[in-house]
């Protein structure tokens, strides 16, 4: 199975490169499953129903969220009628929506998508390890799902790496989101799980983590907020991770970073070209 996970879509420029490039990537790379983190898609803060549908129409099979899940209040309502929209699984009981979704890939296979949020330097949610364990026990790789993707949304690299090792051999991919900076540690662990500490954002990198530079600089220099953060709207770089799995095991056999457009150096999965 060919899986493409695309990192945090940031504002208008991030959305634009998705609508422009993703349909062609699905066709040219013969992608079976596309997952997008969309928690910053609406002006940098949250997601709307219209934007969610825009991603699905462009070729996404599921959209994950994170600590900005509810910044757009409408998400609390429309998530209930959007089975492909996945918020952190370790939110408290009774939170709207779902933290895991079994979606049908483009090739008819079953893909379990789990969104978990770290607790180091983040909100003190429920234990993400216990929550992920619950989901992969209920829907194991191969008997319940043909592939399993875990979006670990967090600040701390150590927490993300620990999650990767914890589920190694039991899921297809553990990919970190949230820091908006792509890491260079894409690899396949000994048990067959593909891993990357942070996939990076899909947005304008002439910015401070996707925001226009002036206000973040002002706050660091003077410690006084003067304006709200606004997304940078220059040309975006689409950042993702490409994973190919073994159909017999559901585990990864190939993994490479994806960077297209914008300011960052290009990276393409040569095994799909």
Can you list the domains of the chain with their CATH numbers?
Answer: 2-272 (3.60.21.10)
Q: What is the reported pLDDT for 273?
A: 86
Q: How far apart are CA 264 and CA 3, in angstroms?
A: 22
Going residue by residue through the chain, which has 273 residues, state the pLDDT in tens, using 9 for 90 and above.
Answer: 999 999 999 999 999 999 999 999 999 999 999 999 999 999 999 999 999 999 999 999 999 999 999 999 999 999 999 999 999 999 999 999 999 999 999 999 999 999 999 999 998 899 999 999 999 999 999 999 999 999 999 999 999 999 999 999 999 999 999 999 999 999 999 999 999 999 999 999 999 999 999 999 999 998 888 888 999 999 999 999 999 999 999 999 999 999 999 999 999 999 998
Beta strands in the chain (DSSP E): 2-6, 33-37, 62-64, 85-86, 100-104, 110-117, 147-153, 173-177, 187-188, 194-196, 238-245, 252-260
The catalytically annotated residue of 68, 153, 178, 186 is: 68
Q: Is 68 noted as a catalytic residue in this protein?
A: yes
Alpha-carbon 18 to chain mean position: 13
Q: How far apart are CA 201 and CA 204, in angstroms?
A: 9
């Amino acid at each position: 199975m060919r899986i493409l996970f695309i990192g945090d879509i940031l504002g208008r420029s991030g959305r634009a490169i998705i609508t422009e490039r993703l349909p062609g990537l699905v066709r040219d790379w013969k992608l079976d499953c596309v997952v997008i983190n969309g928690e910053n898609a609406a002006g940098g803060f949250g997601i709307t129903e219209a934007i969610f549908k825009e991603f699905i129409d462009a070729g996404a099979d599921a959209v994950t969220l994170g600590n900005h899940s509810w910044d757009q209040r409408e998400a609390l309502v429309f998530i209930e009628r959007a089975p492909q929209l996945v918020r952190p699984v370790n939110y408290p009981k009774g939170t709207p929506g779902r933290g895991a979704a079994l979606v049908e890939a483009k090739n008819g296979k079953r893909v379990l998508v789990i969104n978990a949020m770290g607790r180091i330097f983040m909100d003190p949610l429920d234990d993400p390890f216990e929550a992920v364990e619950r989901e992969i026990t209920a829907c194991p790789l191969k008997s319940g799902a043909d592939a399993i993707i875990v979006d670990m949304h967090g600040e701390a690299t150590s927490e993300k790496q620990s999650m990767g090792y914890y589920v190694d051999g039991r899921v297809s991919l553990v990919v970190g989101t949230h820091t908006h900076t792509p890491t260079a540690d894409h690899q396949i662990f000994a048990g067959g799980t593909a891993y990357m500490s942070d996939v990076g954002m899909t947005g304008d990198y002439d910015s401070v983590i996707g925001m226009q530079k002036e206000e973040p600089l002002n706050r660091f220099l003077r410690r006084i907020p003067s304006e709200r953060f606004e997304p940078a709207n220059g040309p975006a770089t689409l950042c993702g991770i490409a994973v190919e799995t073994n159909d017999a095991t559901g585990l990864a056999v190939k993994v490479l970073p994806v960077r297209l457009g914008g300011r960052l150096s290009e990276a393409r999965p040569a095994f799909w070209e």
